Copies of this chain bind each other. A is one copy, B any other.
Amino acid sequence: MNLKRPAPTLYDVAVAADVSTATVSRCMNFPDQVAKKTYYKVMAAIKELGYSPNFGAKAMAARRTNTIGAIIPTMENAMFARGLEAFQKELRLHGFTMLVASTSYRPDVEEEQIRSLVARGADALLLIGHEREADIYRFLETQGVPSLITWVFDEKITQPSVGFDNRVAMMEMAMKVIEFGHTRLGFISAITFQNDRAAARLDGIKDAMKSAALNTSDLSVIETNYGIDEGAKAFDSLMGNGPRPTAVLCGNDVLAVGALRRARELKIAVPQDVSIIGFDDIELAQVAYPSLTTVRVPHRDMGRRAGHILADHVKNGTPLKSLQLKTEIILRETLAPVKT
């Protein structure tokens, strides 16, 4: 039941300091519009009572919250964590607070979280990927809440976005792999259903194979959930049946590291017997043994810039603009020329 003694309000402070509520309010929001003496008196009362303004009331009266929401699939993924940390730091610089919510990759939960953050008065939203029901974008529209898509840049989409071209990034990586002489490729993919990033990365590999005149039927794809063990299992079945690929690309570093572990368990030498390639370049990649060849995604930069763009939009009305960031191929030890 939780019967808590009501917290002190503006009114309580006003009474204690023997001024009006308006003056107390001014002390907090426009300290220089109030006489110094009054100011000190009021601040003393505030401290004395342990007063803290009620956010809801404040938001309602002021009609803005200085809050920006971020909705990500999961916090248990270092790349999102990194991007968000940078996003938050940037927002803080502009006087905004970040609200995070995670969805476990479930669209229904995402919708719920979007509604929740909007209801909480988020002045704007950061979203991951652009693929979601048109309803949702309409909802944001009618609520007047601007949103910025990240982790994705695609000229074809209309929403403003800050990110990279997942398809091209993966294509470049796959081309590099093909340059090393590999023709039988394997791909351990994240679930592509309702995940535009995962789908684009798969397409990127196919693009590369086609442009190298390889037969895309020589690409074995396994879709799996996020996790080291999942990557290991996927690697297992990839190596199990039919002709083995000589290079296994992965939708992210975590899957790749799982594959790496299983390769070690199976006594398959990396990169002598098989090359393994990741995506994201999280810390795991350089620590893995052998160290992981992967695609570096500028997560921190992405977060920082997204924060800047959104804050600037909300504060100054600067239109939201899209921004394409570059990825980079990081050659480490797990990619080697194919054995001849």
Contacts and interface: CB of A to CB of B under 8 A. Distances in A.
Interface of A: 1-8, 49-50, 52-60, 64-65, 74-76, 78, 81-82, 84-85, 88-89, 97-102, 104, 115-116, 118-121, 123, 138-139, 141-146, 228, 254, 257, 260-261, 264, 283-284, 286-289, 313-317
A50 B102 contact: no
Contact of A49 (B3, B49, B54, B142): B142
B102 A85 contact: yes
Contact of A50 (B54, B120, B139, B316): B139
Contacts of A264: 289
Contacts of A315: 1-2
Contact of A144 (B4, B102, B144): B4
State the copy count for this chain.
Answer: 2
Q: Which 6 A-B pairs have the closest CB atoms?
A: A4-B144, A56-B56, A1-B317, A289-B289, A50-B142, A55-B119
B50 A60 contact: no
A69 to B, nearest CB: 11
B7 A143 contact: yes
A50 B138 contact: yes
A68 to B, nearest CB: 12
A138 B4 CA distance: 14
Contact of A142 (B8, B97, B98, B139): B8
A211 B57 CA distance: 58
A7 B50 contact: no
A313 B2 contact: yes
30 contacts: A2-B315, A2-B317, A50-B141, A50-B143, A52-B119, A52-B139, A54-B119, A55-B116, A56-B58, A56-B65, A56-B121, A60-B60, A75-B100, A76-B81, A81-B81, A85-B102, A88-B102, A89-B104, A99-B99, A120-B120, A228-B283, A228-B286, A228-B287, A254-B283, A257-B287, A261-B286, A261-B287, A264-B289, A284-B284, A287-B287
